[in-house]
Amino acid sequence: MDTFKNMITNPILPGFHPDPSFCRAGEDYYIATSTFEWFPGVRIHHSRDLVHWRAMPSPLTRIAQLNMKGNINSGGVWAPCLSYDNGVFYLIYTDVKSRVGAFKDTHNYLVTATDVEGPWSDPVYLNSSGFDPSLFHDEDGRKWLVNMIWDHRKGKNRFAGIVLQEYSVKEQKLVGPAVNLFKGTDLGLTEAPHLYKHNEFYYLITAEGGTGYEHAVTVARSRSIHGPYEVDPTNPILTSHGRADLPLQKAGHGSLIETHSGEWYMAHLVGRPVQEKHCILGRETALQRCIWSEDGWLRLATGNRYPELYVTAPKITLHPFEPTSEIDHFDVTELRNDWNTLRIPPDPTWLTLTTRPGYLRLHGMESMSSTHRQSMVARRLQAFECEAETCLEFAPDHPQQMAGLILYYDTQDYLYLRVTHHEEKGLCLGIIQSKYGVYDEVLEEDIPLQSGHRIRLKTVINHDRACFYYALDDDPSWVPAGDWTDITHLCDESPEYIRFTGTYIGLSVQDLGGTRKYADFDYFEYKETNKQTVELA
């Protein structure tokens, strides 16, 4: 039997996994991705063959490292950079506090660990001059930080260039002058810098064109780390722009590694749109095989600049991992690492797996509009066709108390199958939504639940729409709760402003009166029914 697998299937990290940072430590490969307002911060995946990937524990697990209470939508952790040098993992990340309008408050930090699974250190503050920081370890032992610099002034190029400054490990701070290395190409919106040394050149890889459908990877090089940098005459080296027929759109934000077998690969983000360019899964991570040209420029191995669905894998022995169970029975004392919470870490005052063993208990807090204290536990939507199911025990006594199954993008956009109390109907079920910030009740009237100590809830997702179902107690039959509903507003593309996350499926409880009424969830099952790549509408 052949121990090598010929092809990598993209995206390798489906669903909300943007801004990949590629890292190799010996024969182990890691990709760190942005998590924005979701806690814990930074998602890390591990591979031994670039074909199979598994999620690792996240590194930013405590408020001392990441305090996001009150962070805006699509704020929080932007574009982490994971690197490895002499037995130490270095993780650099941005905590974005504001991003709309002329100003951006972007604070950059560094944490370290000798084991990628932790423990990770408390953060070292670096700077706030811009975002997308990256750390380069030079051959002489010196370390250099690069980040884009933001210029808020009217009439200026907001993406004002890539700044280089030395980092002192001994002093744990940036030292020396900050030098603007590179003002970018005509594509503009120059960001996501990564430095590499190959043969006699320093290579600066950047993302340009914005993180939407004109996104691209560009390259420049210099014999000195301080420049001047010569722009690759064939830029961009990777993009989907101009090819609306490609299943992988938005290609950009590249990060490079050389395998231990001597082959080169680039991780980059992509989006897979449905119906009029709506990316409900968010931005995802893909891999492309690379080569070096005779004149020393980085090229895709295909000879063109477009992302491929299927990519030749490296000559490395196949190393699969055990798959994660589709069902979580909540029979352990901590959340599995495919779960996230919004802005705040799990806390026994609102989330517990031990008070009632075998159940997840959530105490209701603030509304779905809150950027402070939401009682929500959610996982990424990672397929265009899937089902999710849970079983709820909940005894509300006021309309301000709600619990159920939610499809959530951010405070502006969600679709929520929730159980609540009505003054006349008593226990009842309904669907509420927010679409681009406008609240609505999908059903004309809530459905009375005449019985139902245990209420089973389910959603079925088919590309651009979803349908909810419910069942009471042990009744095996599912009853539709309304018709199919459009979910294309659960996407990056908003008519008001660009945003950067992806759709989550979650368990949610609210108590707007402040009494912290709780709900118990017996299990959660997430099942993908078709993993094929979406066809463009």
Domain ranges of the chain: 7-312, 327-530
**What does the pLDDT read at residue 452?**
64
Radius of gyration (C-alpha) of the chain in whole angstroms: 24
Residue type, 323: P
Tokens standing for residue 363:
């105490």
Q: Which of 95, 191, 413, 464 is catalytic?
A: 191
Regions of the chain where pLDDT drops below 50 = 1-2, 533-537
Do the Cβ atoms of 29 and 50 come closer than 8 Å?
Answer: yes
The residue among 17, 409, 18, 12 whose CA lies nearest residue 191 is 18
pLDDT given for residue 531 in this prediction:
57
Hey, do 7-312 and 327-530 end up sharing a CATH topology, with the first three levels equal?
no
Supply 262's token pair: 């001597």
19 has catalytic annotation: yes
Q: Which fold has domain 327-530?
A: Jelly Rolls (2.60.120)
Q: Give pTM, 2 decimals.
A: 0.96
Q: Does 191 qualify as catalytic in the annotation?
A: yes
Q: What is the pLDDT of residue 474?
A: 78
pLDDT at residue number 537: 32
Burial class (CB within 10 angstroms; exposed 0-12, middle 13-18, buried 19+) of 243: middle
Write the pLDDT tens digit of every residue in 95-109: 999 998 899 999 999
Q: pLDDT value at position 394?
A: 97
CATH node for 7-312: 2.115.10.20
The whole-angstrom separation of Cα 254 and Cα 111 is 22
Q: Determine the Cα–Cα distance for residues 223 and 201; give it in Å rounded to an integer.
A: 5
Strands (E), 294-425: 298-300, 310-312, 327-328, 340-342, 351-352, 360-363, 375-380, 385-394, 401-410, 413-422
Separation between Cα atoms, residue 491 and residue 484, nearest integer Å: 18
What is the torsional sign of CA 179, 181, 185, 188?
Answer: negative
Evaluate whether 78 touches 36 at the Cβ level (below 8 Å).
yes
Whether the Cβ atoms of residue 220 and residue 229 lie closer than 8 Å to each other: yes
Q: What is the pLDDT of residue 494?
A: 86
